[in-house]
Amino acid sequence: MKRRTLNIEHRTASEGGFTLIELMVVIAILSLIAGIVLPRLPSTESARLRDSARSLASAIRFMGDRAATAKTGYRLHLNITDNTAWIRQLNRSGEETGADDPFLNRKILAEGIAIEDVTIPSSGKTGEGEVLIGFGPGGLQDYMIVHLKDSKDGHYTVTAYPASGKVKVEEGYREPEK
């Protein structure tokens, strides 16, 4: 009986590596997967719009809860002209100071996201300038709707209800409920 020993150094080129057909099959499978997955991923701008709407909603909820538990006032500034939003705390004399909580001092709206308009029953629909929304020891003081948009005409609507403290975020431009 003869014994064979396999010497790795004497392998031929056809015995090692992948064939061209195997590589082409792998590339075709990866291309098919990419073709299915990539169109389903949200664009970065629509993701920023959604995240800004959620960030605004969480700030409104947090301010309402914080105002009720700390028995202090807060004011949400929405500057429609500059597309900025910030929060200020009210001291006992009613003057604005910086909010004492780091969560309230964070940036609310992402770059490139615009405030289209704000609707408050006491002042109606406002499409320019600055809108102030008050939060007292009872939470949010007025029903409000904020419409956010991106440069591709994507919209999100943030609706806040003062009685329940509920804040709703919806995709699209939603009109006030009658």
- Domain of 59, CATH number, reads 3.55.40.10
Is 166 inside a domain boundary? Answer: yes
**Sequence-distant (≥ 6) Cβ neighbours of residue 79 within 8 angstroms:** 85, 115, 129, 130
**Segment 32-84, tens digit of pLDDT:** 998 888 777 766 888 899 999 999 999 999 999 988 888 889 999 999 999 99
Which residues, other chains included, contact 30 with Cβ-Cβ below 8 Å and sequence gap of 6+? none
pLDDT for the residue numbered 40: 72
Domain around 113? 44-171
Residue 56 lies in a domain: yes
26 domain residue, yes or no: no
- Put residue 17 in one of left, alpha, beta given phi > 0 → left and psi -120 to 50 → alpha: left
Going 160 to 155 to 42 to 103, the CA torsion angle's sign is: negative
Report if residue 16 sits inside a domain. no
Average pLDDT, the chain: 86
**Tell me, what's the pLDDT at 50?**
93
Residue 112 backbone class (left: φ over 0; alpha: ψ -120 to 50; beta: rest): left
Q: Is residue 178 part of a domain?
A: no
> How many domains does one find in the chain?
1
Residue at 34 is within a domain: no
Cα separation, 134 vs 148, whole angstroms:
20
Is the model's pLDDT at 2 over the cut of 70? no
Are the beta carbons of 158 and 115 closer than 8 angstroms? no
